[in-house]
Every structure is written in C-alpha cells, then in structure tokens.
Amino acid sequence: MYLKEGCSLLLKVRKPVVPMALTLNLISDHKQVKDMSAPRLREIDVVNRIRHERDITVALQYFKSVAESEVFGHTELTYQAMIEKLGMENQMDAVQYLLQQMKLEGLPCSEDIVVGVINSYARIGSTEQALKTFYRIQDLGCRPTVRIYNHLLDALLRENRFNMINPIYSNMKKDGIEPNMFTYNILVKALCQNDRVDASYKLLIEMSNKGHWPDNVSYTTIVSALCRFGKLKEARDLLLRISPTVSTYNALINGMCGEFRMGEVFSLLEEMVNRGISPNVITYTTIVNALCKAGDLKLSLAVLAQMLVRGCSPNIVTFTSLMKGFFEEGRVPEALDLWNWMIQQRCMPNVVAFNILVHGHCFNGDLKKALDVLDGMEKNGCPPNVKTYSSLIDGFSKVGDLESAISIWNKMMSSGCKPNVVVYTCLVDAFCRKSMFDHAHRLIENMLSENCPPNTVTFNTLIKGLCDTGRVGWAMSILDEMRRHGCQPNIRTYNELLDGLCRGGQFMQALQLVNEILESGAELNLVTYNTMIHGLCQVGRIKEALLFKGKMIVQGIQPDSVTINSIIHAYCKEGEIRIAAQLLGGMAAENCCRDVITYTTLISGLCSQQRQEDATVYLLKMLNEGIAPNIATWNVLVRAVFVKLGNSRAIQSVDNVLGKCEDYRSMDN
C-alpha cells in the first residue's frame, strides 16, 4: 500500500515493516554525553559495516547507535549505504524518512542516492512514488542531471507509462540538460513499444544531428520492434543498410523463427558467418528452440552439432529447449540424456530447468519420477515454485488421482508458495474430472475471496465438465456468473455450451446462444459451426444444417471433413445414399480430405440398403486413396454380409472381398 498523493510522507506513514527506521531520532532533543575515550570511526568502516550486514534490522540498529555515540557524524556516503540497503529490502517508508533526515542535517542528497531511490521504486512497480521523489530532489539539495532523468524515463518505460515520457523529456530540455546516448535509446525503445516505429526513425535523425550516432542498441531495438509487428521485410532491409552486429542479427532471426521461416533463418546464419560475425549461443538457441517447437528434433540436433563444431557451448536454455522438445514427442530417454549431459557440462539446473523435467515426466505419465524430481529440487537448494506445483497437480488430475493432486496442493500451501490462477484452474479441473462440481465451484469462490480472480480458462474448465455430464442448466448459470465477475466468455466458452445444448436436444436454446454470440461481437469459428451442424444432423434437421454450412462459407470458413461427415451421416440415416455419395465425391473439389469416417459412414449406408457390391467398390476406393479401413469399417461389412447370406455363404463372400483387397494391394505394389 502506497501513500496517497499530496500527503506528507512523514505524517502519513502506516506501519513500517522496520519500525526502527521511523522511530529513529538522529537529532536528539537532549544533549548526549560524549565518550571521549571511544575510538573515532572512519567513514569507510561505517559504510562497509552497513553494506555487509545481512540483517536489515541489525544494520539499522548500528546506523542509529553510530549517530547516538557522537564519535561519528553520518555523512552523505553512510546515508547512501543505508538508503540503498533499505531500498533493496523494499522499505521505502524508511527510505523517505532518511531522505528527510538528511535535509534536516543539512546534508545534500547526491545523484547516486536519487538514482537508487528511483530504481527501488521502479523495482516494486511504483513509478508514481518515483515521480514524487524526482519532483522534490531540489528541495533535498540535488540538482537534476541527465543520469537522473534517464533512470526516471526508464522506470516509466518499465510500467508502459508512455503518456508521462514525453512531458518528462520536455522538462529535461527546459532544464537545459542535453540528452545522451542512453536517453535516446530509452526514447527509441518507448516509441517502438508504443507501436511508433516510424517516429523512432525520425528520432535516429535527431540523434545524428546532435552528434549521437545510433548504436547497436538503437538498431536492435528497432529491428526487434519491426519483427514484433510482423514487418520482417522492413527489418531485413534495415539490416542491409547498417553495419549489423550479432545482436541485430539475433533480433531478426528471432522474428523469422517466430513465423517459422527457417529457410531465411539459415540464410541469415550463413550471411553472418560470411560477414565475419560469429553467431553466439543466443543465435543458436533461438533456432534450436524454434525447431523443437515445430517438432523437427532431427534438424535441431544438427544445429546443436554445428554450434559445437564452431566452438559455441550450449547454455541452460539450449539444453532445456531440446529437453522440452524430446519430452513432447514422448522421447523420454533422449530428454534425460540431455539432462545428464547438461550436468556434466557443469551447467547447473535452475528452477526453470527443473520445471521442464517435472512437466516432461507428468506429460508422459510418469508421476513417480516427477515427484522424485520435486524431492531433488528441495535437496539441491532450488525451491519449487508455483509452476512446479501446477504441473504436478495437472498431471495427477489427468490420471484421475485427485487425492495426490490435493496432497500436492497442501504441500504447496505449507511451503508458503502462493497459488496463482493456473494452479487453481488445475485443481478445478481435477474436481471436474471426478464430477465433484460443488467442490470446483467453491474453489472458484475461494479464488475471489483470496484476491486471485478466476479467468476465462477457469470458468471454461467448469463449464466443460458440467456440459460433458449433461448439467447444461448449471453450466448456463456459470456463464452468467463469469459475466458478473467481469470475466468475458470467449468462443471456446460458447462452443462448450453449444455442444452441451445440442447433445441434450435443446436446439432452440442453442440457436438463441448463437445469436447472443453474434450480438456480443464474437465471431463463430469452425468448431462452432461444426457443433451446430453435427447436432442438427444427429436429429435429422438437414436443411438447417445446410443453412449453417452456407453461412460458414459466406464467412470465409472452409468446411472440413467433420462438417461433411456429419451431413453424409445424416443423409445416410435418411436413406439418401445418392446425395451422400455425391457429397463424398465433391469433397476433393472443396479441398476437404476424405477420411476413414467418411468412407465407413457411406459404406454403412450402402450396407443398410443391402448394396454390398457397391460398398465393396467404396472399400476399394478408400484403399486406392491410401486410407486404411478400421475395425468399424470391417464390422459394418461383415455384419451386412452375415445378415444377408447366413453363416456359410457369408464366410465365402467375406473371403471374396478380402481377396479383391489383396489383389488390389499386389497391383498397387
């Protein structure tokens, strides 16, 4: 809690965490008797004692005792040491007290002290207080400097206070303080973060006119911004006009990797080498990470090999990116080999690396090993964080082990680790999987009371669980509840509800919900249309389903195999096999892939009309397209043959069908 604007910093102190700082009376009302025999203290000794004392309370007690002893008068440097220490502990009320005490003692506040205070406020996210401190520095005996302005501008930038940056910069000019390279780079970064890259170019011209040539930081900031806004061609063109460094190349490579334009990435890598710029660990790790995300582990290992050949050692991010890729592909032994290699390279794992190991084991269902890693973290002095616990709770939830999920929750709470919305959502999911919806709902209510408001994903988890078990009415009430709490439903929320309504045959309510979605400004997506089309087709309302298909095409959404399969199934149920066959034939023209469900549905429809010969033709067609029949396909065919011909003749007929299939395969080979 911060002080209210306009109130005296000294009179409005609440309850300081370090009471001694605010009861410290360095100017006593009563004269103290000097101990002439006490040795005189040196400034350097006092500064070192304050800086090296780990306990903030002990440091403050020492600071006070020195003042009371009268064998040493505090100086600007001793105050600076104490203020810096308090700032590191976020004891900002005490810092303000000491600033006022300096003023009372007639000690000027130095540039270093002001910078330290501004940075302390920036670290705790209180730029408002940083600004207040800045506006009173002259009263504290310090004149504004370019360095103070730079740190203030940087603090504003950290909190995206763009509206304040320009007034402060204008104020700087009014004070007659010339911006330096750091100032310009902060302003360039501010413009780029505010989507004003064009303005940042103009600032580069101003820099040059003032004799400050744009440096590596300036260009890297602009290249990164261009990439972030998808302007990769402009970023590439800029790189060709300047003398690039490894960091500017890295910014462009990162942008290219974000869009997975790996051909251009490898061209840039080659270009760097040709221009005498050595790719560094960031370059290679960025590429490795992108390839791992895309599942191209073979190529990622090739990049790792190239990295090693060029004498560039992988770091912890390189190793963990590869490990994550292998875990996600289910290649656990290779992931563990990388872990062991990382340890052998004396690249000691941090909490992020441990979390990837925990998540990897959970993802692959080995929760016992995940718990072993948790124990290892504690033994190695690497305390698990909220992400560690969320992975374990999610892992136990997915295997239906609610008891263990709750045990992990309790362990997290006893360790003093505060749950976030992700952990709460994982536990909500665990309760929903056990159909313990009252518990899940109470947990969401608890989130609100604990000042950790549920998000859309939390509510969607509960809504999905309710809809999957036919409790659609309750799910609809949760939709109203999430709105009351200011949490906006997204298209996934609506899709879950539509699926529940359609499965329950509540089509009027489903259509009303579709209208509500459109009125809210949200756009229906492929899943929305497929949910409605499938639901309508299940109850034979084909005309309405076709209307939805028409609407999705008008909206620019391409029907997929799920869309067409639902309609084919509906026509087959109605005995309209000819129309169903036409739809199957037209799928290729609509760039819609036929699959085993498409063919099995049509084959089932043909068999229901005792058209086994035609069904066999479609069986051969699906084989011709490289689509393998599944057990459902064979069950449909065999059942139809046995119904029509009886046991002995049916067996012979099935043998004939299988023979045709074998003849076809041999011709294909």
CA–CA gap between residue 78 and residue 63 (Å, rounded) = 8
202 part of a folded domain = no
463 part of a folded domain = no
Choose the final residue of a domain: 454, 469, 496: 454
Mean pLDDT of 140-154: 92
Domain that includes residue 646, residue range: 595-669
CA distances from 213 to 192, 207, 209, 247, 251 (A): 18, 6, 8, 17, 20
CA–CA gap between residue 34 and residue 40 (Å, rounded) = 12
Half-sphere exposure at residue 76, Cβ-oriented, CA atoms within 13 angstroms: 12
Write the CATH number for 369: 1.25.40.10
What is the pLDDT confidence band of residue 68, given thresholds at 50, 70 and 90? confident
Mean pLDDT of 143-172: 90
Predicted pLDDT at 667: 44
The helix/strand/coil state of 348 is coil
623 part of a folded domain = yes
Choose the final residue of a domain: 108, 143, 178: 143
CA–CA gap between residue 274 and residue 247 (Å, rounded) = 16
What is the pLDDT confidence band of residue 572, given thresholds at 50, 70 and 90? very high
Alpha-helical runs (H) found in 229-280: 232-241, 246-258, 262-274
Q: What does the mean pLDDT of the chain come to?
A: 86
410 part of a folded domain = yes
Q: What is the tens place of the pLDDT at every residue in 312-328?
A: 999 999 999 999 999 99
User: Is the model's pLDDT at 4 over the cut of 50?
Assistant: no
Across 153-157, 204-208, 321-325, 503-507, least confident range: 204-208
Higher-confidence residue: 589 or 532?
Answer: 532
Choose the final residue of a domain: 407, 435, 454: 454
Into how many domains does the chain fold? 3
283 part of a folded domain = no
What is the pLDDT confidence band of residue 669, given thresholds at 50, 70 and 90? very low
What is the pLDDT confidence band of residue 662, given thresholds at 50, 70 and 90? low
Across 267-271, 343-347, 587-591, 661-665, least confident range: 661-665
590 part of a folded domain = no
C-alpha dihedral (435, 437, 439, 445), degrees to nearest 10: 160
87 part of a folded domain = yes
Predicted pLDDT at 11: 25
Task: Report the percent of the chain where pLDDT is more than 90.
Answer: 55
User: Is the model's pLDDT at 169 over the cut of 50?
Assistant: yes
Mean pLDDT of 353-371: 95
Mean pLDDT of 343-353: 91
365 part of a folded domain = yes
The conformation of residue 669, written as its DSSP 8-state character, comes to -
